[in-house]
Amino acid sequence: MKHFTLIYSGIFLLLSTCSTESTNGQSTDKTEVGGPCEGCEAIYEYGDRQLHSVDTFAIYLTSDHKMIVQGTVYQQDGETPAKDIIIYIYHTNQEGLYAGGSKGWGRRHGILRGWIKTDTDGQYTFYTQRPVSYPDTQIPAHIHITVKEPNVNEYYIDAIEFLDDPFVNEAYRLKRKQRGGPGIVQPVLKDDIWIVQRDIILGKNIPGY
């Protein structure tokens, strides 16, 4: 009986530890929020690089479909800028595919992915290219976003989608849950570069937050 108790205690300790650590061992002080999130752990795959508020994808330099994704991250009040928030994005190429990745979640998310950490004003910018829809589907083109803030586990928010996308109609817009604030944005073409603004409100419409 004593042997069984020791085993049970060890299992309990292991489960308790797992519940307070993220996938890369970084501890959190809150219960899991946001619900299931396949691939959200990719937010930790930036390795030992120092994150800044701007990330430039290699494709941006040569693409004919340049896009700048920018925005401000706010605290729950929707007014106070949130600094040191890590944001991970990934999206399809011009064939509608996640291609080119060779390791980690890059094998699923492709090479068009990147990481930033918001500055003191809560601002961030990605220089990338505009994605397109999956082949032979009516799924709107989109940019996936995962967020990591201090003392909260990583969670996904509504992807960036585009008002000028033929698959983004009124019925579709009404179904969006606006996790982290509205994700459907209006692209603006300026000097042959698409510019979109995706502001984020931490915890907004996030289950368990």
Domain membership of residue 189 as a residue range: 39-201
Q: What is the CATH number of the domain that holds 88?
A: 2.60.130.10
Burial of 169 (0-12, 13-18, 19+ CB in 10 A): exposed
Q: Does 66 reside within a domain?
A: yes
Domains in the chain, number: 1
Q: Which of 72, 119, 63, 122 is nearest to 91 (CA)?
A: 63
**Mind listing the pLDDT tens digit for each residue in 147-194?**
999 999 999 999 999 999 999 999 999 999 999 999 999 999 999 999
Q: Does 7 reside within a domain?
A: no
Residues of the chain with pLDDT under 70: 1-31
Q: Does 208 reside within a domain?
A: no
